[in-house]
Amino acid sequence: MVTHFSRILSSRLELEDLTNGILPELMRYCDSNAGAILIEDNGSFIPRACIGIEKPEILGQREMIKRCASEAKRMRIDLPPDIMIEGALLSARPASIIIEPIVYHEVTLALIVLSFLKAPREEINKILDLLSPNIAIALRNALSYDQLQRLAANDSLTGLFNRRFGMARLQEEYGRAVRSNAPIGICIFDLDHFKQVNDTYGHQAGDRVLIHIARIIRSVLREGDIALRYGGEEFMAVLPGASMTDAYQIAERIRRQVEESEFLHGPQRIKLTLSGGVASWPDFDASSPEALVKRADESLYASKEGGRNRITVL
């Protein structure tokens, strides 16, 4: 199996040819009746190969797809007989769906969706464990350098910079600020009571909340500012040229817009607030970008301790 599959991977260099070669073989090995391969493109996952799926273009909009891409972990969804999938998959009702993230050096390059009319065999996990690393290498070779750079930089759920790339940009901007003796501000935000949202409404609603917050942050920031997903429900904004007052005003605008925004889960409106902490060099004489982040984090902690839904400057 592996030898045959490796021949398919090595003989196809173009992305479309590669994905169209992978999918039918993988479906055959796994006894899947339908499937698709989705490739990341500017924050969305676009189907590049599809068999037996009626509306593949809407797959990338599904919360389970975004969640799998964000967590980079295999997902299996077992569907009761009375549950219909709203046009996302088949005319025949599947018993199970497996979503397999294809990850190369901690970057999700693609998602493979496999549908099953009956419960998948136990050995399918072993098959995917065996073949997924080879698929990742083949896709990495087929993707352009620019695509790989962008994939490595972005958080797949929110589209903001991920922590690793965002912190590298902070290092660059801090060094530039010190050399030019210009201020630089940092805001760190944390969603209030986010665990309660997940526990009450589910992880798919929680993911939509994170996307919603990311959009608000992006809409408020100025040209040249940097937004990143700092942790689970934590975000950071790096503000070149921003004094402590500037950074506070920007953070407060974000806090206010989140509080005033309307987030609907079905017919229910979910009240959202966030807390923030602000620091700026040279108002705070930080000896390094890490020290500046630590100060902003301490300010965030003070906001949490002070009752949440506020911005604090220490």
Cα 152 to Cα 262: distance, rounded to the nearest angstrom: 32
For 215-228, what is the mean pLDDT?
94
In this prediction, residue 272 has a pLDDT band, given cuts at 50, 70 and 90, of very high
Domain with CATH 3.30.70.270 in the chain: 156-313
In this prediction, residue 234 has a pLDDT band, given cuts at 50, 70 and 90, of very high
Say if residues 104 and 132 touch (Cβ distance below 8 Å). no
Residue 39 token pair:
């490739």
CATH superfamily of 2-151: GAF domain (3.30.450.40)
- 238: CB partners within 8 A, 6+ apart: 166, 169, 170, 173, 184, 185, 186, 225, 226, 227, 228
Say if residues 252 and 259 touch (Cβ distance below 8 Å). no
Tens of pLDDT along 18-42? Answer: 899 999 999 999 999 999 999 987 6
Least confident of 3-7, 67-71, 193-197, 216-220: 3-7
Cα 78 to Cα 115: distance, rounded to the nearest angstrom: 10
**H-helix or E-strand containing 107?**
strand 107-116
Alpha carbon 301 to chain centroid, angstroms:
25
Tens of pLDDT along 121-153? Answer: 889 999 999 999 999 998 888 887 667 777 788
Provide the sign of the torsion angle of the four alpha carbons 208, 210, 103, 147, taken in this order: positive
Give the active site residues. 233
Look over the chain and give the mean of its residue pLDDT values, rounded to a whole number. 89
Quick one: pLDDT at residue 146?
A: 61
Domain with CATH 3.30.450.40 in the chain: 2-151
Quick one: pLDDT at residue 86?
A: 46
Residue 194 token pair:
């986010």
Q: CA 173, 248, 301 angle in degrees (round to 5)? A: 90
In this prediction, residue 88 has a pLDDT band, given cuts at 50, 70 and 90, of very low
User: Which of these CATH numbers, 3.40.309.10, 3.40.50.920, 3.30.70.270, 3.30.70.260, describes 156-313?
Assistant: 3.30.70.270
Quick one: pLDDT at residue 15?
A: 83
Query: Has residue 274 got a pLDDT over 90?
Result: yes
Cβ atoms within 10 A of the Cβ of 8, count?
16
Cα 267 to Cα 244: distance, rounded to the nearest angstrom: 40
Quick one: pLDDT at residue 151?
A: 75
pTM of the model: 0.66
Least confident of 78-87, 228-237, 239-248: 78-87
3-class state of residue 208 by DSSP: helix
Query: Has residue 70 got a pLDDT over 50?
Result: yes
Tens of pLDDT along 300-313? Answer: 999 999 999 999 99
Query: Has residue 195 got a pLDDT over 90?
Result: yes
Reference 294, options 308, 311, 281; nearest CA is 281
Q: How many CA atoms lie within 13 A of 141 on its CB side?
A: 14
